[in-house]
Amino acid sequence: MIRVLFDAFYHMMPGHRIGNDISVGGYQENFGRYTPGDCFHPNGLSFLNADLAGEYDIRLLTQPYSDAAFFDADILLIANPDYPLYNGASPYRWAPQDVDALLRFVNRGGGVLLLVNSFLSRSDFWEENFDLERVSLLFDRLGVQWDPNYMSDDKTIERAKSGELQVGYGQGGRVLRASLPKGITPLITYNDNIYGFQTQIGAGSLVVIGDTGMISNGLICFPGFDNAAFFKNIFQKLSPKWKTIQPDCWDYRSYSHMSAAPNLNGINENMLRSMRPDAAWIKDHHYRHMTWEESPLTAVSGTIWNDIPVEISKIKTQSKTSIPLNWLPLCENMFGPKVQLDVVINSVSGQESTDLHIIGRTKSDKLVWEDILNTKQFKVAGEIEQVHMVYEMKVVLNKEGQPLSARWSQGQILYARNPQNDHYGHEIILCSRSGVISPRAVQ
């Protein structure tokens, strides 16, 4: 099935309680409208969900946009990114990194459907304002301007056009001055207004529609309009080529982190920084986080899939196995000691794909600083008492059993006994190495 990732991070899920067992999106509180599973409100998406159920699997996205977040997605559905000013809205807002990740996803072949609204504030009308300020980060990249002072007729469902289809459009926004740059074409029009547009970016497609209500229960079902047929067509157009043609290359990214709470009686900030001097440095209360990435690459099947410790072809029918790993070093240019990790494998098969979940953990009380560090200055932190490791991988296989995408993390937590440390009498260091393999559609 085609996997649709619904953004439930930048748009709040239903939270307006009516009765004991029903939560819907609300008008006055303005949260949770336009969400799957809501058949109780005209702005729910249950009828759309039913239309798509035979070919599409809708799943919730609960984290910021990134290559890792999109690793198994085919289509990204973004319904009205919330403006945090309003009660019950999502507190999170798009950042430039989100737009970067969205465009990378489209470029390698994914499909994105972004639905927004008007941005007109009126004291006599419930406000549907999406976060125009942050969505404009994307519009600016495209060279598109959204009209900040327009809403379609609030007394009439306008009979807009998309090809031969008549689509109902209610209280939505428009492109400013009906002006689109080269390479971006109108998708929905009404008189001289452009209410939606589409464009090709790399191997994928982006569709933007100015009335999120178009996709809702109320307008999908409204007599006399073709909204249901319109969105079926849209989802078919957005479906990536890798669903029908096995890709011959993949994007590969690897990234790592280290976290600790430095103190003057053990591992201080200078010592922590010395382990990864080129890493990005982030302060979070008493904790310090360092992050770094390897250069991303695009390569053919053999190169990419041979770089991971799990042989997918051998374990896809197993429920348990053992995989070769190394304990993660704390410094550069070093490998930690080898370790065999026992993992369990859970698989869930659908009509056209199989999801593998591989996970296991282990621990050691035999490691010393020299195993994972090439310096002796950490002796002041005491002796290592225990190191724990967890490894988790998620893999999507196509209907032939070939790997299509994967995401994994190897996490590690180290405890060194240091009675001088006022944080529990231990030095605690967390570190990880993670990776993402995502398909790139054949152009």
Domains and CATH numbers, the chain: 2-239 (3.40.50.880), 249-440 (no CATH)
Beta bridge partners of 113: 77, 207
CB 368 within 8 A of CB 325: no
Residue 410 phi, psi dihedral angles, 5° rounding: -115, 115
Beta bridge partners of 58: 4
3-state DSSP of 348-394? EECCCEEEEEEEEEEEECCCCHHHHCCCCHHHHHCEEEEEEEEEEEE
From the list 367, 292, 289, the residue with the least C-alpha distance to 327 is 367
Tell me the pLDDT tens digit for each residue of 137-193.
999 999 999 999 999 998 999 999 999 999 999 999 999 999 999 999 999 999 999
From the list 32, 420, 69, 373, the residue with the least C-alpha distance to 212 is 32
Residue 285 has pLDDT above 90, yes or no: yes
Q: What is the pTM of this model?
A: 0.94
Residue 188 phi, psi dihedral angles, 5° rounding: -130, 130
CB 27 within 8 A of CB 16: no
Cα of first residue to Cα of last residue in the chain, in angstroms, is 21
Structure token digits, residue 190:
């009404």
CA distances to 134, 203, 240, 249 from 105, rounded to whole Å, are 19, 9, 11, 15
Cα 387 from Cα 336, distance rounded (Å): 12
Residue 30 has pLDDT above 70, yes or no: no
Residue 41 has pLDDT above 70, yes or no: yes
Please give the residue that has the higher pLDDT: either 79 or 374: 79
pLDDT at 125: 63
74 pLDDT tier (thresholds 50, 70, 90): very high
From the list 35, 12, 36, 14, the residue with the least C-alpha distance to 25 is 14
pLDDT at 127: 64
Residue 242 has pLDDT above 70, yes or no: yes
Cα 443 from Cα 429, distance rounded (Å): 45
Tell me the pLDDT tens digit for each residue of 396-409.
999 999 999 999 99
309 pLDDT tier (thresholds 50, 70, 90): confident
CB 180 within 8 A of CB 194: yes
Cα 427 from Cα 413, distance rounded (Å): 10
